[in-house]
Every structure is written in structure tokens, then in C-alpha cells.
Chains A and B, each alone.
Chain A
Amino acid sequence: MINRKPFFIELELTYRCSQQCFYCHNPPRDLKFYIDDKAPKPRSVIEMNELNLSEWISAIDQIKRLDEKYEGIMDVVVTGGEPLLRSDLEEILSYITRQKLSHMLLSSGEPISDDRITKLLESGLEKIRINLTSHKYVFNMQSLIMHIKNEVVKKINIAKKFKDFGVKEVGGNIVLTSYYLDFLEEIVELAYKSNLDWIEVNSVYKVGHGYINQKFIVPDPNDERTIQEKLKKLIEIYGEKFIQNYVDTDILYSRIPIPTNWGEVGLVIVPNGDIYPGSEATSIPLSKLGNIKNDSLIEIWFSYPLLNKIRSLSFLGEPCKSCEVKKLCRGGFRFNAYITKNDLFAPDPSCPIVKDYIGKS
């Protein structure tokens, strides 16, 4: 079914976090998905026992075996929650480096100190992406703009510090929520002047807390043209290498389904070692593929029935089975199927073709 390794293995070392991102994809504590109308729901993540250092080392040994035995290019993405909250992050990174695995750290950059940056560098850190947008201060509506700006400046300064200390590649991540839309140009300009290597602009994805808080964080549809024009202009000014634009407003406003990438892109290992087929899948207990302490990563990637079923598209019913773009859409977003039907294999109800089919039948 597939003859190459995944593009990346994501290690979510902890669900603890120093931030308050309303779009966080980590699974909410109660795993109940509803769209909150009253106020953004603060981040509150499911509790689980984290793997200890020796268990993560064993997990990395498995990743190494997958990397060396099979065709392709693979990265280890180290993230969380906030990975800096693991006091053994340096040991984990050192081990990944010693195994000669390509890796990247995704972090909010907090909490950090000069000493910690030095230790991370000594552990082999070469590539880090700092998340520039969180919502820590949005409950303070009186001085919201000032708090948002201060927060971004602080994050860019942290990113710059990583760069100044000698980390080779330092990028920034902007999740384009309604809170940040007005400041997009300012953030990008400051990041550019601070010598960051790239800025990713990502959409809000309606998964995890992003699903629950969508009414407050998805930019107003009336701003669609503004979003497109702002991004176009930024790419013209700074180039596609610096501005990595992943915003598709048709996806943002649920006009087209998000393609399923399970079984094609990567695997996610969550803090307790459970393995999932995607970052949004960590909110879907039905999509759990195993646990790194007991199961083989190689067997899961190449042979797990759920992944093969998704890869083969054999799960598709009508109208997807007969759809001319099924090989591109791949059945649409499984998170949507799960939360609306409690069924991993149901058609994605966000697709207009599915909506039309259901309306007629």
C-alpha cells in the first residue's frame, strides 16, 4: 500500500503549556465538541501520564529503525503542548541528534533563559519554529490591542535570541485568528527585520479547541478579500520563501472539505505514547493506532488496517465513491465525520457535494 516512510513523526512530549491558544489542536479535557457561543473557552487539555525519558529514548530508537530501513525523507517534529516545560527536553533532543535524525522544535519560546538556549544548542538544535500568536491576554478587553502587540514583540524577540545564539533556522508561526488579522503586516515586518528565516501563516483549523472556539477566532467572512489581499501583498514584498502561506479561505470558511492525509504524511505520538494518524486525530479516540511502548511503529505505518483502508479509499461510500475528485479530496476531513456522525468513515458533511447528496436522498 505504501513503500516509503512518513514525512514526519511528531512527538507531543507534553500537553502542559505556557500559552492560551484558542485554536490549540490538543484534545480538550472532556472530549466534548460543541461550538461555544458565549465566550472563547480557555485551553483545558485531557490529562495523561507522560512518557519518561527512557520511554521517549525507546520511542526514538523505533523512529530510527523506521528511518534507516525505508525509502524517503523523514523529520522528527518535537512539540507539545509546550516542549520547553519538559526539563529533559535537552536529553531528548541530544538523543535524536545522536541518532542523526533530522529534527525541528515547535515551541512558544516560553519559558526560556539564555542558559536554556545554550543547552538546547548543545543538544543539537538547528531548527525551531516559534509560535508568535497566542491568546493569553484576550480576556483583558480593556487594553487588548496593547497586549496583543506586546505579546508578539516579546515572541519575536525570543525568536531573534535563538537566532543570535546561533540556531541555524528560526521561523515564526502566525495562526490567522480574528485577533491577529489587523496586525499581520506589522508582525511580518518586525519578524523580517529581526532576521527570522521564515514566517508561516496558517489558517485556523476547526479541530480541538479550534472547533469549540471557532465563532470567536475565525476571521469574519466579510474580511475574506482583506485576508487574500494582505497575503498577496506580503508575498510580493517578502517573497514566497519568507512568507509560507497556508491560508485557503475556501477551507477556512468550510466551502470545500479538507483532504484526508492520514497514512500519507505522518504519525503523531502523544504524551502517554499513544499513536495517532494526524494532529487533529488526537481528539478522536477511534483513530488511535497503538502505543509506542507496546506496538511497532513500522508495523503501524505500513500495515495498520485503518491506515490501509484510508489509503485505498475503500472506506468511501456515496457520494464520495463516485466523485471525480476523490483521489484529491480522499474523502474529506475525518474529524468532521467523527464529530457529526461518530463514524470515522462517514462522508465529510462540510463538502457541498455531500450536502447536496444528503438533501436529495
Chain B
Amino acid sequence: MTNPITGLDDVVHQRVRLGILTITHEARRAEFGYLRTRLELTAGNLSQHVDVLERAGLVAIEKGYEGRRGRTWITLTAAGSRALAAEIKQLQSLIAHLAPEES
């Protein structure tokens, strides 16, 4: 859902979810454990945010095994890539427009 005042997407405009999208965009795909370490989150907390992004169609989840160890990989979808680009553009635009008024 997009905020009518700021033009920011509420799903993406959240620190942790923006972090997940950023990492998966840069890494092509990221393992659950890597995201947890880099974003300094508990497994439960990260799961909730990943679920929100998956329900919005912004990331895809792939579960598999490496040896006996289960691994979960998160991949950015095309919609996720567009949403991340739009969020960054909107943030830059807000800074450009609001900064002179605040100073």
C-alpha cells in the first residue's frame, strides 16, 4: 500500500524489509542465515518480514538441503527489483525536496 502523502510503499518503506531487498538485489540471492547476521535479527523476526515481502510478491523463497543441513534462499523478484528502485528514487526525491524547507 502506498502512503498518499509521501508516495512511499509501506511494505518496502521499513528498515528491515528495505535491507532484505537491498541485500537480495546486490547478491542475486541470499541465504536466510546471511540475512539474519547482516541485519542483526532473530530468526523469528526475519521470518515475519520475509513473509510480508513474499506475500507482496517482492521476493521468492526456495528451500533445499546442502548435505543434511536445510537452507533457505531468498531471491528478489522482478516486482521486488522495481519496488526497491522506486523506494530509493522516492527517498532521494524526498530528501531533495524537503531538505531546503527544513534548513
User: A and B, one complex?
Assistant: no
Residues of B within 8 A of A (CB): none
